[in-house]
Chain A
Amino acid sequence: MVEQEIIEETTTEAEEKISLATAGQLMWWRFRKHKLAMVSAVVLILFYLVVIFAPFLAYVDPELSEAQRSLMPPQAIHLFRDGRFEPHVYAVKGARDPKTFKRVYVTDPETIIPLRFFVHGFPYKLFGVIPTDRHLLGVEGVPIEESLFIMGTDLNGRDLFSRLMFATRTSLTIGLLAVAISLFLGVLLGGISGYFSGTVDIIIQRVIEILRSLPTIPLWMGLAAALPGSWSVQQVYLAITVIISLLGWTELARVVRGRFLTLREEDFITAAELVGCSRSRIIFRHMVPSFLSHIIAATTLAIPAMIISETSLSFLGLGLRPPAISWGVLLEQAQNIQALAISPWLLTPVVPVILAVLAFNFVGDGLRDAADPYG
C-alpha cells in the first residue's frame, strides 16, 4: 500500500472571503462593479440632499410673485473680476419696448452685484424644526428678489431656481411615498398569492391582470379630477399619492408572487419544513431574506414610474395644483408653445426629471443584477 499523503486544499484568499460574506455584502460587492449604477447612486444621493436642504438652497421665497419681473431670462453668473475669484451678476432692469410695447429686460454691466454665501434670507425651519434664515446663496446690499435670477422667472415673476428646489422636494417625496404604499400592497397580495396558491392565487392573479390591462392615465385623470376642489394642498397631495399607487402595485405583486413560487420549490425550504419549522418562521427567516434583494431592486425600478405619473398629472393641471410646487406644476406653465418659444427656460424642470428617472433606472438595474446575476 502506497502511503497516501493528503494535500491540504489550498483555497485562495478570495474564495475564503466569498464563502464567509453575508448576502448583503455579496450584493454590495456585485453592485460596486457596475460603474453606471454607482454613479447613478451618487446622483440620487445628491438629489435627496436637495430634498432635505431645499429651503437652504433656495434663495428667494418660491411664492414671491411680482408682475414686474415676469418671464425674466436666466442671468449669467460671472466668476472672475479683475482676475480674482469674485462671483457676481449684473443688475437687470425691466423696460417696455417703445415699439412693440412688450416687456424687455436689459442687463446693466455697470452695476455689479457680488454674490455671497451663507447669507441671510427668508426665514424657514431647517429639517422642519430649527428656525433659521441662512441660505447658500445671496447678495449684499440689494434686495435679493430683485437681483438674482439664476434660472429666470416664470409667468408670475417667481424665481424658477428657488421653485425648482422645492419642486424637487415634493416630486421626489411623493415618489417615495407612493412606492411605499405600492410595496406594502404588492408584498401583501403577491405574498398571499404566491404562498397559498389555489383559488386565492387565481383570484388575485386575475385582479392583477385586469388592472394591468387598464389604461392608467385616463383613470388617474378621472379619479384626480373627481377630488373636491375644496381640499387642502396636503389632502390633495395624499390623495394623488394613493391614486398613483393603487394602480402601480401590480408589478411588485407579480415579482413577489414569482419569487414565492420559485422559492417554495427550493430544497432548502423543504428541508426547513421537514425539520419542523413553523410556517411563519419559514416565511420570515428563510424565504424573505432570499427575495429581499429582488424586492429592493423591483421597488427602485418602480419609483421612476411614480415620479412620471405625478409629473404627468400635475402637468395636465389635474394632479398637484398651485400653491403646491412640483416638477409637473412647474412644467404646466410650459404647455403653451408660443410662450415656450419666447421663454425656453420654462422647460428646465425637464432636466431633473430625466436625470432622476435615469438614475433610479440605473441603480435599479444594478441592484437587480447584484441580487441575482443569473436571473
Chain B
Amino acid sequence: MNNHNMPLLAVRDLRTYFFQDEGTVKAVDGASFEILEGQTLGVVGESGCGKSVTARSILRIVEPPGRIVAGEILWHGADGEVRDLVKLDADGRVMRSIRGREIGLVFQEPMTSFSPVHTVGNQIIEAIRLHMRVSAAEARRRAIEALRQVGIPQPERRIDDYAFQLSGGLRQRAMIAVALSCDPRLLIADEPTTALDVTTQAQILDLLRNLQAQRGMAIMLITHNLGVVAEMCDHVVVMYLGQVVESGPVDAIFHNAKHPYTRALLRSIPSIESPSRVKLHTITGSIPHPYNRPAGCPFHPRCPDRIRGVCDVREPTLRTLEGGQSVSCFLYGV
C-alpha cells in the first residue's frame, strides 16, 4: 500500500499552552505543517518561537504546567494506521511504542542528555530491549552496530564508556545512535549542531544525510541557523511566536520569501558579497514578552509592511500560494 500522498506526520493547528501563576504562555499557538516520508523538513525561528515545544508536543513529552489544548497530530504508523497523537494517553503503551521506536529525538546538548551515572551502552541497550524482543546479547550487538554506523571508532570499547569520557563530537554521534537504535521512520533533531564547533557540525550533518539516504527516514531539523537549513532541507517551516508564518520548498523560501519576517531573517544574514562599511541589517524591535502578546498578527509591531487597521486587529491565517508555498500574512490576501 503506497500512501505517498499521505504525509508521514501532519500537524494541524497545534496549540500548546503553559499555565503558570503569572499568566499563560502560548508557546505554540496554531502551528500547521506536514512531513512526507523520507523528506527533510527544517523548522526555523528565533529562540522562544516555539520550535522545541512543537517537537515535544509531537512526542507528547510536554512538561506540566504545559499542555496541548487544541489541534491534531496525525501520525501515519508503521502498521498503516493513522492516529491522532493528541488523543493518545501520553504515558500509555501505544504512545510509548511510537516514541523512541517510530519517532526518534536528538537533543541539543549531548553532555546533559546522557545520564551521568550510566554508560552510553546501557542507555542504548535499554532502548533496544524496550522496543524489540531481543536477548541481552543481541541487544548489545545491535548497540555496538549502531555506534559503528554513526562513525564512532572502536565501538566495542566505547559502548562501556560514560558520557563524560567522550568528546563533544562523539557524544553527539552517540546521541544519534541512541535515537536511531530502533530504526525510526522520523528523526526529530532539535538544534543538533548548535553546541558543536563548525568542523564537527559539518561531520554530523553529513552523517545525518547518509543515514537518511540509507534508511529512507524523514528528518525534522529544528534550528535557528539558516545555513544549515539551506544545506540539508527539502522543505522549510518558519515560526514566530508559536505560529507558522511561512512554509514551502527550500528554494522558494530562500529565493522568493513572502512573509516580511522571513525576508527580514534572510536579509539579516551577513554575506561575504555585501559591500563593506554597510550597517548590518537587523529586525527592529525585539520579541515581545510572552505574557504580552500583541493583538492581531504577532509580527506586526516589528513589520515594515504592516497595514494599519488590519494587521493590528485581526490574525492572519495560513494560505497556500502557488508552488507549494504557504504564508500567513495579510499582504497576500485576507
Contacts and interface: CB of A to CB of B under 8 A. Distances in A.
Given A4-B304, A6-B285, A7-B285, 10 more contacts: A2-B304, A2-B305, A4-B284, A6-B284, A7-B301, A7-B302, A9-B285, A9-B286, A12-B292, A15-B289
Interface string A2-37: 101011010010010000000000000000000000
Contacts, number: 13
Contacts of B301: 7
A12 B285 CA distance: 16
A40 to B, nearest CB: 22
Interface of A: 2, 4, 6-7, 9, 12, 15
Interface string B270-314: 000000000000001110010010000000011011000000000
A15 B288 CA distance: 13
13 contacts: A2-B304, A2-B305, A4-B284, A4-B304, A6-B284, A6-B285, A7-B285, A7-B301, A7-B302, A9-B285, A9-B286, A12-B292, A15-B289
- Across the A-B interface, give the 6 residue pairs with the lowest CB-CB distance, nearest first: A7-B301, A2-B304, A4-B304, A2-B305, A6-B284, A7-B285
A12 B302 CA distance: 18
Nearest to B308: A5
Main secondary structure of the interface of B (DSSP, over half): loop
Nearest to A15: B289
Interface size grouping (class) on chain B? under 10
Contacts of B304: 2, 4
B197 to A, nearest CB: 23
A9 B287 CA distance: 11
A2 B331 CA distance: 14
A366 to B, nearest CB: 17
Nearest to B312: A7
A339 to B, nearest CB: 53
A193 B305 CA distance: 60
Contacts of A7: 285, 301-302
Contacts of A2: 304-305
Contacts of B292: 12
A7 B294 CA distance: 12
Nearest to B302: A7
A15 B305 CA distance: 29
Contacts of B285: 6-7, 9
A9 B289 CA distance: 11
Contacts of B284: 4, 6
Nearest to B21: A33
Contacts of A15: 289
A15 B290 CA distance: 13
A39 to B, nearest CB: 20
Contacts of A12: 292
A290 to B, nearest CB: 25
Interface string B104-129: 00000000000000000000000000
Contacts of A6: 284-285
A6 B304 CA distance: 9
A245 to B, nearest CB: 38
Nearest to A4: B304
A7 B286 CA distance: 11
Nearest to B305: A2
A2 B305 CA distance: 7
A15 to B, nearest CB: 8
Contacts of B286: 9
A6 B292 CA distance: 18
B251 to A, nearest CB: 26
Query: Which of the listed residues A6, A7, A9, A12 has the most CB atoms from chain B within 10 Å of its own CB?
Result: A7
B33 to A, nearest CB: 29
Nearest to A7: B301
Nearest to A12: B292
Nearest to B306: A5
A15 B289 CA distance: 10
A7 B292 CA distance: 15
A210 B289 CA distance: 50
A15 B285 CA distance: 17
B259 to A, nearest CB: 15
A188 B116 CA distance: 36
Contacts of A4: 284, 304
A166 to B, nearest CB: 45
B303 to A, nearest CB: 10
A335 to B, nearest CB: 48
Nearest to B301: A7
Interface string B234-251: 000000000000000000
